[in-house]
A and B are shown apart, each in its own frame.
Chain A
């Protein structure tokens, strides 16, 4: 089979520009998110809820370390039939934030989407428009036929060896492969990473739902009701003394 030769101009006008473009777009995205992302003030109610849940969980787990009166008192405070903290919270009306009617949520989502989706579509489009149809490099090992759609997007040649890499695929590889470089240059957890953003988008449905805290309170209350107080220090006197008496006799 005749060896394929690439024009050396491809190296300078396709191969390198794609690397440079993806890199600078990553940088740009990083700084844009720094500018646009304001610190969101925490929702007061949500904060109180999560702290209360932490405290009841701690009470369930470590209740054995405090005297019985203290435990029963706290249990009563949290899980009492009528006036218990958890009982009250459980029946509290949950203000459901509707993403369509609530304008603040709308703008937040829009802001998110603009900074995430638009550059991706635009850059992808530009790359596709300007650089499609080139083969730009060759992986230095033979690959099976199955790799062709992955490595040769945009170049549909049935007889071409699978180890040739098309420009659009090179762009995709760059997006995924630049995480390491970005981490080096911009520090960990930077916003340049598109792959992370894609994961975020998949999770977005779950996040944007208002957490149903009344359910969590109900579960916590039931959990607390079944816990009985077993004092951990019932026989601690004799325990400690027997454990350490041998030190004296030594």
Chain B
């Protein structure tokens, strides 16, 4: 039991997304034991189990945890009320959830968690445009919220609004410039826009931070190929473009060899498939 509690604590503090395991710990170890020996941590654990149960759509477990929490904290706790809203979300009763959230917001309009839930509620109902406009007004207040920018970026991408998505990705780069995934995302958005120069640069910067990012290597091959095609098409300053092409070729070769190298190190069996795949990507 002690180790289970410690594991849950670790998952809770570090925001792990291993909800299956959390539920497993609950059903096998904790659910039929007396948790009151844990003191106040009991309620934190119940909240955690509740959220994980919703992730795994195990509503009966969620209900069970929620009833205990409600009995303890009554209706006065904002936190428990928010959980109630989440429960209604999970069973598809969006109106009731919305009602709960707007009531909560009336008391305290700066409650970031409730506002985020409202936005995700819109997203669940597939009202992407409303979600975007809500999220925009949220970001007017919380300008430095990394999660929100990331979410907005995804929403814009799902609407194929690349310019705005790129703006959000830039914002993410500003907030956390040392996360290679942010660089990769920005590069991919630029690639989708057809801005191959920037895409290539940011694929390279991804590699600078994390040399094992294979997606960025493929990205370099693709962008260099596209750039080479472009210069072939214009063909105006022959002298200049020749030089340019040479460096593009070099980059392509380099990325290719890096990918090969990785496959040789890890799974040599796949090498011929990869080779032909890369062949088809390049000119």
Residues of A within 8 A of B (CB): 41-44, 47-48, 51-52, 54-55, 58-59, 62-63, 65-67, 70, 232-233, 236-237, 239-241, 243-245, 247-248
Contact = CB atoms under 8 A, between A and B. Distances in A.
A244 B211 contact: yes
Given A55-B143, A70-B167, A62 B202 contact: no
B207 interface: yes
Contacts of B175: 58, 62
Nearest to B195: A67
Contacts of B109: 41, 44
Interface residues of B, number: 32
Given A44-B110, A67-B198, A236 B208 contact: yes
A54 B143 contact: yes
Given A58-B174, A239-B208, A241-B251, A47 B201 contact: no
Given A58-B175, A70-B167, A240-B204, A245 B254 contact: yes
Of the listed residues B108, B143, B201, B202, the one surrounded by the most CB atoms of chain A closer than 10 A to its CB is: B143
B261 A236 contact: no
A54 B211 contact: no
B174 A41 contact: no
A66 B144 contact: no
Interface in B199-226: 200-202, 204-205, 207-208, 211
Interface in B104-145: 107-110, 140-145
Contacts of A44: 109-110, 141
A236 B201 contact: yes
Q: Chain A's interface: helix, strand, loop or mixed, by majority?
A: helix
Nearest to A54: B144
Contact of B251 (A47, A65, A67, A237): A237
B177 A233 contact: no
A248 B258 CA distance: 8
Contact of B144 (A41, A51, A244, A247): A51
A233 B110 contact: no
Nearest to A247: B261
B170 interface: yes
Contacts of B198: 67
B110 A47 contact: yes
A44 B115 CA distance: 14
A83 B49 CA distance: 49
Contacts of A236: 201, 204-205, 208
Nearest 5 pairs between A and B by C-beta? A65-B177, A54-B144, A55-B143, A51-B143, A236-B204
A62 B257 CA distance: 32
Given A62-B175, A65-B174, 17 more contacts: A41-B107, A44-B109, A44-B110, A47-B141, A48-B140, A48-B141, A58-B144, A62-B177, A65-B177, A233-B201, A237-B251, A240-B204, A241-B250, A243-B208, A244-B258, A247-B261, A248-B261
Nearest to B208: A240
